[in-house]
Amino acid sequence: MSAQDTIKSTIEKNDVVLFMKGTKMMPQCGFSSRVAGVLNFMGVEFADVNVLADAEVRQGIKDFSDWPTIPQLYVKGEFVGGCDIVTEMTLSGELDQLFEAKGVSFDKAAADKIREANA
């Protein structure tokens, strides 16, 4: 199976996927850590794909999304964005709306706490 097939399969099989450097429990870059931290704090179940473990997947996800940076968040098969976009969406409430629209379970009170802490 090619890297593209692996990426596509992972995105199709999981409601929320974060392609990141490291893992959700051990991020290996600040941007990956920020996005994984937001998802973990909000109680979102997500699959993590450590792009550092496979150079083909690391390049493949950039080609797949036509997005040059990692991390990359996918929700129900839809590319959401990287760290800056996810941070912006979290603070504006757009991420909550996306999760609600897609039927993804999350802790609304935790999301509100993130916004309060960054107000």
Query: Over the stretch 16-28, which tens digit does the pLDDT of each residue have?
Result: 999 999 999 999 9
Q: What domains are defined for the chain?
A: 3-117 (3.40.30.10)
Confidence of residue 82 (pLDDT cuts 50, 70, 90): very high
pTM: 0.96
Identify the pLDDT of residue 1.
81
Q: Label residue 20 left, alpha or beta by phi (over 0 means left) and psi (-120 to 50 means alpha).
A: beta
CA-CA distance, 76 to 95, in Å (whole number)?
13
Binding-site positions read 29
Task: Give the tens place of pLDDT for each residue, 39-69.
Answer: 999 999 999 999 999 999 999 999 999 999 9
The answer to whether 39 and 95 are in contact (CB under 8 A) is no
Residue 49's closest CA among 35, 90, 105? 35
Mean of all residue pLDDT scores within the chain: 97
Looking only at the bridges linking them, the beta strands covering 78-81 and 47-50 are: unpaired
Residue 19's closest CA among 42, 62, 107, 86? 62
Give the percent of the chain with pLDDT over 70: 100
Q: Residue 50 forms beta bridges with which residues?
A: 20
Binding-site positions for [2Fe-2S] cluster read 29
Classify 43 as helix, strand or coil. coil
